[in-house]
Structure formats: C-alpha cells, structure tokens
Structure 1
Amino acid sequence: MPEICRFLGIVIRMYYRDHEPPHFHAQYGEHEITMEIDSGLVEGKFPRRSLSAVLDWHELRRDELATNWQRARQELPLLPIAPLEN
C-alpha cells in the first residue's frame, strides 16, 4: 500500500483497487483508522491528539486526496501530499 504522507508519527496510505467510498488509511503505532474523503467519517480508534491532526490534515488536503483516489483507481502512481505543519 503506497505511503502518500507522514507527519507526527502518523503514516497516511492508500490502496490500489480499494473498495468505495473513497477513503485513506492512517496508522499511528498499533492504531489504525480509515477516513472517508468526502464525508470525513472515521472508522477505527486513534489517540485523541493524533486523530485531531488527521482531521486537520484531511480538511487541508481533501482535493489532493480525491485526486490520488482517482489515480489509484486508474492504477497510476500516487502523488505525495504535504504533511501537516506543526
């Protein structure tokens, strides 16, 4: 699964050929969540501060995430997305 971003110990990835709706995966240590790109719906458990960081990053990078989702569906290389700045 290609890594598209890393910040504050959080790794953001997207699968090729993943199921709908458009989403990404975030991992922090042993914790993992998936987040829908359009709605922001989160599944899974994350520490509060890490979840807050992912929510902020998602809001800033929603268009880039949607573009990468389309690229993944077409099996094109995914583009790196800038991390959340401290």
Structure 2
Amino acid sequence: MPTISMFYGILVLMFYRDNRQHHLPHIHVRYQGEEAALAIEDGSILAGSIPSKQLKLVRAWLEIHKDALYVNWELAVNGEEPFRIPPLQ
C-alpha cells in the first residue's frame, strides 16, 4: 500500500489490486488513527471516517489531482507502482 502523498498530517494511500471491495476508483486516507476510503470521482466516503476539516482538505486535493489519481488507479489495480502526487500547499 504505497503512500502517494502526505500533507498536514494526512497520509494518502492507494492499495495494489484494490478494485474488489468498493468497486470504484478510490484512495485511502489516514489521519491520527482514523481511516477512510474516498471515491476519486466525487470525494464521497466509501468506508470509515476522518475529521471534517481534514476531509475538506483531501477533497480539495482530490479535485486538483483527479487526472493523476486515475492514472495511478490504473497502475495500482494492475499491480504496478503508483507515482507520488504533490501535496496540498
């Protein structure tokens, strides 16, 4: 489960071959012991939860990097290494 970005204490991960559980392109986010899976398309929460402030930051980052995230998703589901994506600044 490679970390593809980190910002403001938030880790953004994309698991290899992770297209069975949620059936949508998504990322995993960790913040201070809490975890959530978010759809790349609209930032909706598929599982778990993170605090509202961090969720807003992740959703803004998702919107900025949506195209790169879809490329990473294709790499990851095929078992290839996704690339790092710049953090939110």
Task: Kindly indicate whether residue 22 of structure 2 is the aligned counterpart of residue 22 of structure 1.
Answer: no
C-alpha deviation, 1:6, in angstroms: 0.3
- Aligned match of 2:82: 78
Task: Kindly indicate whether residue 70 of structure 2 is the aligned counterpart of residue 61 of structure 1.
Answer: no
Which runs of no fewer than 5 residues in structure 2 stay unpaired? none
Aligned residues: 85
Task: Kindly indicate whether residue 48 of structure 2 is the aligned counterpart of residue 38 of structure 1.
Answer: no
- Give the fraction of aligned pairs with identical amino acids, expressed as a percent: 36
Residue deviations 1:59-86, cap 9 Å, x none? 101111100000112222110000000x
**Partner secondary structure for residue 58 of structure 2:** helix
**Partner secondary structure for residue 62 of structure 2:** helix
Distance 2:10 2:33 in 1: 11
The runs of at least 4 aligned residues of structure 1 exceeding 6 Å deviation read: none
Amino acid at match of 2:14: M
Which runs of no fewer than 5 residues in structure 1 stay unpaired? none
Q: CA RMSD in A?
A: 1.0
Moved more, 49-58 or 33-42: 33-42
